[in-house]
Amino acid sequence: MPITASPRTTQPAQPLESANNPAALLRFSTVQALTGLSRSTIYTRIREKAFPEPIKLGTRCTRFRAGDVTAWLESAK
């Protein structure tokens, strides 16, 4: 019987439309796609108080309020 590797399980990508709900909690990858900023740039701007603070749901789980991110996007125009 041949040994095969099990497929790596991944979480489905969060649709960008999630940002339309101000109460939604956005994944980091979604915030990156919406803003066009890299992870390090986002963290730098958070330290400088120039980007909305994330919510830590656990040691490896960071989310952003969609309303905060969209308000930041509007103010950056």
- The domain limits of the chain are 21-75
Which tokens in the block code for residue 29? 């990858």
How confident is residue 12, by pLDDT bands cut at 50, 70 and 90? low
DSSP one-letter string for 32-75: HHHH---HHHHHHHHHTT-SPPPEEEETTEEEEEHHHHHHHHHH
Entry pTM: 0.80
pLDDT at 1 over 80: no
Q: Compare 8 and 69 and report the one with higher pLDDT.
A: 69
pLDDT in tens, 57-72: 999 999 999 999 999 9
pLDDT at 28: 93
